A and B are shown apart, each in its own frame.
Chain A
Amino acid sequence: MDKVTLLLSLAFALFTIGLLGVIVRRNVLVMLMCMELMLNGVNLSLVTFAHQMGSTVGAVLVFLVFVVATAEIAIAIPIVLLLVRNKRTLDLAAYTELKG
């Protein structure tokens, strides 16, 4: 098995586990962290391909993914904070306003 296959499999596995985590875990914060895991998996696959092709663009993209992930989490956590303050629970089953 060569490096690329291994790393790619790892990336896909991380992504899948992250998505599974979003589906099965109830705690809002844990769901957020699983989303981070998904991002990491994708980032790994991006690095693998970029490294394989030896392109500069790949590096730039990886960096941009870092920035975006940071900005995203910077906003996501305060939003979750506000939500939790409203509902007084971290259980996602309580957040059903999107019903209908």
Chain B
Amino acid sequence: MKLLALIPLLPLAGFLLNGLLGRRLGNGFVSAVGCGLPVLAFLATVKCAFDLAAGGYTPLSETAYTWAVVGESRFEVSFWFDRLTAAMALIVTGVGSLIHVYSTGYMKEDPGYARFFAYLNLFLFFMLLLVLGRSMLILFVGWEGVGLASYLLIGFWFDDPEKAAAGKKAFVTNRVGDAGFLLGMFVLYATFGTLEMDRINAAFGAATLPAVSASLVGILLFVGATGKSAQIPLHVWLPDAMAGPTPVSALIHAATMVTAGVYLVARMSGIYLVAPEASNVVAVIGVLTAFFAATIAVVQTDIKRVLAYSTVSQLGLMFVALGVGAYGVAIFHVYTHAFFKACLFLGAGAVIHSLGGEQDIRKMGGLAKRIPITFWTFAIATAAIAGIPPLAGFFSKDEILWFAYASGAGGSTWLWALAALTALLTAFYMFRLLWLTFLGASRMDPQVEHHVHESPPAMTGVLAVLAVLSAVGGFFALPHFLEPQLALPTVQPERASMQTPLVALAIAIGFAGLALAAWFYARGGERAARLAPSLAPIQRVLAGKYYIDELYAAVIGRPLGWVSEHVFLRLGDRVLLDGTLNGLAALASRTAGLFGRVQTGSLHLYAFLVLLGSLVCLAWVWRHV
């Protein structure tokens, strides 16, 4: 049975059913189809994973059908299932199904319920195409498709022009990255005549390197990853994407879509292994993004924005791991991050739901006793992301820090130092968030406070499951599982001895962040408030997100707008196109007018023209006879 093809097809069926029939058949039907089919896809993935293990981990491959035959090249829709795919597909379907269940509670009163689940299923379909695709072509279809689903879901409440604009921003920024991705694909196709990733990786791993520059391809593909995974300079869309419903933020902008860039680089590890320059670029951009986003997160006051910048920062750390050759470790962090970030986002959603829509953490506080389940799950996930042992985040983050320091393929002290500083900031701002949201005295509006209630079981149940996974997920040694396919880099021998001290330092950093946050923000943040005036300028720059959006608007947006307005609209459209058409019409009209002057109504003139015409005809006949 074609099980691999079934995995993405199940959510696609969900999209069609919910999209076409959902409104008519009611919320019960929508929930059943919308959650049931992803769960079935998860079960199918599990079955495939078992098949993979039973077959000694030789990759499963399946061709669904031939898309096109152009000359001598065949483009097929084919799927590939190896260790890496298994890891990614399980995360996507597993966490995805959980979030679908959560959404039945969160989106219950929304009039667009059926549309929401239709879009979520559509997203799942494309994401599965992305991770299951054998050829870069199928991956790209999935890539673009998740971009589309992201646009549809960010702008889900499209009546609000700001939310719609956020969706557009996400899509356009993604497209900029896709240009690089496409160029990379073109180079690969021109060199190898195929886009199948396993074959390309093998070609780069062979003894004689192919004629094309691996670094060039590596950088081009990384540009695409930058767009999708919100790295500098294309990170600007992710914070704005928080305009979408919270389950969307959890699923797409935390657990799955944004990790597509990480997946791409890991999948094409064959290229990056032989491209040290490209890998360096990846690592540098990763660590800069991580640090940069962490600094901004420290001053954010919207609960979802803190988490958004945190996601950008964590993605940066994943790219650091990729850049130093620790591909399996990066995927490990994807896996743990999916658990605790989804739990955090869904917890934030629960808080927002409990407070009836309030998202500003300055107006929260004192919620721990009133919504305990939400509080405890959120706390566990916060500790996980801060790297407190033995929770999941500690294991993956520690591995990243270790390889950033000691990897033989680009590990260096400064890389580690920045990453460690980022970890400290991460712990700090996450615990700040926890304190300001749940602990201390209540700063809520009285009417809001009156209605605070625990979320329905659909939501709290999922939170509990994710919290448990955040706690124990780290004990499954994913890098070791992936090692036969994605080898870990060799450690620099002189640095090998630093492993234990660095682990201790990592633990210390986690607790230091906790302590700092507690000291500043306990009792409603009075100590922080006292410190605020002296740090006001820094706070302004950070709150302004380093003014990157404004920079883009001034440097890119305005000139493009000017060109559009003056060159394309006024010159091109009005003068050239309209002018040509109108000019032609005017020419016809004027010529007709000119010819019309012959018809004076004077018979004398007509007779004269007859005479003249006859003379001309006569002369003409002579010349040609």
Which residues of A pack against B, CB within 8 Å?
Answer: 19-20, 22-24, 31, 92-93, 95-100
Q: Interface-forming stretch among B234-242, B398-406, B595-603?
A: B595-603
**Which among A22, A24, A97 has the highest number of chain B CB atoms within 10 Å?**
A22
Q: Which residues of A contact B610 (CB under 8 A)?
A: 19
Nearest Cβ on chain B to A5's Cβ, whole angstroms: 18
**Contact: A96 with B601, CB < 8 Å?**
yes
Nearest Cβ on chain A to B374's Cβ, whole angstroms: 86
Cβ of B529 within 8 Å of any chain A Cβ, yes or no, is no
Cβ of B604 within 8 Å of any chain A Cβ, yes or no, is yes
Nearest Cβ on chain A to B618's Cβ, whole angstroms: 11
Chain A: which residue is nearest B614 at the CB level? A19
**Contact: B611 with A96, CB < 8 Å?**
no
Pairs A–B under 8 Å by Cβ, sample size 7: A23-B604, A31-B603, A93-B602, A95-B603, A96-B600, A98-B603, A100-B599
Q: Which residues of A contact B601 (CB under 8 A)?
A: 95-100
Cβ of B67 within 8 Å of any chain A Cβ, yes or no, is no
Nearest Cβ on chain B to A63's Cβ, whole angstroms: 27
Q: Which residues of A contact B603 (CB under 8 A)?
A: 22, 31, 92, 95, 98
Q: Which residues of A contact B600 (CB under 8 A)?
A: 96, 99
Mask, B585-625, CB within 8 Å of A = 1, is 00000000000100111111001101100000000000000
Nearest Cβ on chain A to B279's Cβ, whole angstroms: 81
In the complex the two chains form, what is the Cα distance from A29 to B482 in whole Å? 113
Q: How many A-B residue pairs have CB under 8 A?
A: 32
Which one of B596, B602, B607, B608 lies within 8 Å of A96 (CB-CB)? B602
**Contact: B596 with A100, CB < 8 Å?**
yes
Nearest Cβ on chain A to B547's Cβ, whole angstroms: 69
Chain B: which residue is nearest A19 at the CB level? B611
In the complex the two chains form, what is the Cα distance from A11 to B172 in whole Å? 86
Nearest Cβ on chain A to B614's Cβ, whole angstroms: 9
Q: Which residues of B contact A23 (CB under 8 A)?
A: 604, 607-608, 611
In the complex the two chains form, what is the Cα distance from A47 to B602 in whole Å? 34
Q: Which residues of B contact A24 (CB under 8 A)?
A: 604
Nearest Cβ on chain B to A47's Cβ, whole angstroms: 22
In the complex the two chains form, what is the Cα distance from A29 to B175 in whole Å? 84
Nearest Cβ on chain B to A100's Cβ, whole angstroms: 6
Which residues of B pack against A, CB within 8 Å?
Answer: 596, 599-604, 607-608, 610-611
Nearest Cβ on chain A to B391's Cβ, whole angstroms: 94
Chain A: which residue is nearest B609 at the CB level? A23
Q: Which residues of B contact A92 (CB under 8 A)?
A: 602-604
Chain B: which residue is nearest A25 at the CB level? B604
In the complex the two chains form, what is the Cα distance from A95 to B601 in whole Å? 7
**Contact: A22 with B602, CB < 8 Å?**
no
Q: Which residues of A contact B602 (CB under 8 A)?
A: 92-93, 96
Chain A: which residue is nearest B604 at the CB level? A23
Ordered nearest first, which 5 A-B pairs have the shortest CB separation? Answer: A99-B601, A96-B601, A98-B601, A22-B607, A23-B608
In the complex the two chains form, what is the Cα distance from A32 to B601 in whole Å? 18
In the complex the two chains form, what is the Cα distance from A92 to B600 in whole Å? 13
In the complex the two chains form, what is the Cα distance from A1 to B480 in whole Å? 123
**Which among B602, B603, B608 has the highest number of chain A CB atoms within 10 Å?**
B603
**Contact: B607 with A19, CB < 8 Å?**
yes
Chain B: which residue is nearest A35 at the CB level? B607
Nearest Cβ on chain A to B606's Cβ, whole angstroms: 8
In the complex the two chains form, what is the Cα distance from A93 to B608 in whole Å? 14
In the complex the two chains form, what is the Cα distance from A98 to B603 in whole Å? 9
In the complex the two chains form, what is the Cα distance from A59 to B608 in whole Å? 32
In the complex the two chains form, what is the Cα distance from A83 to B596 in whole Å? 25
Q: Which residues of B contact A96 (CB under 8 A)?
A: 600-602
Chain A: which residue is nearest B602 at the CB level? A96
In the complex the two chains form, what is the Cα distance from A44 to B602 in whole Å? 30
Nearest Cβ on chain A to B596's Cβ, whole angstroms: 7
Chain A: which residue is nearest B605 at the CB level? A23
Nearest Cβ on chain B to A60's Cβ, whole angstroms: 27
In the complex the two chains form, what is the Cα distance from A24 to B601 in whole Å? 15
Q: Which residues of B contact A95 (CB under 8 A)?
A: 601, 603
Q: Which residues of A contact B611 (CB under 8 A)?
A: 19-20, 23
In the complex the two chains form, what is the Cα distance from A98 to B604 in whole Å? 12
Other than the given A23-B608, A92-B603, 13 more pairs (CB < 8 A) read: A22-B603, A93-B602, A95-B601, A96-B601, A96-B602, A97-B601, A98-B599, A98-B601, A98-B603, A99-B599, A99-B600, A99-B601, A100-B599
Nearest Cβ on chain B to A11's Cβ, whole angstroms: 15
Nearest Cβ on chain A to B37's Cβ, whole angstroms: 74
Nearest Cβ on chain A to B601's Cβ, whole angstroms: 3
Chain A: which residue is nearest B608 at the CB level? A23
Q: Which residues of B contact A20 (CB under 8 A)?
A: 611
Q: Which residues of B contact A22 (CB under 8 A)?
A: 603-604, 607
Chain A: which residue is nearest B603 at the CB level? A92
In the complex the two chains form, what is the Cα distance from A24 to B611 in whole Å? 12
Nearest Cβ on chain B to A23's Cβ, whole angstroms: 5
In the complex the two chains form, what is the Cα distance from A22 to B614 in whole Å? 15
Q: Which residues of B contact A100 (CB under 8 A)?
A: 596, 599, 601
Chain B: which residue is nearest A31 at the CB level? B603
In the complex the two chains form, what is the Cα distance from A93 to B607 in whole Å? 14
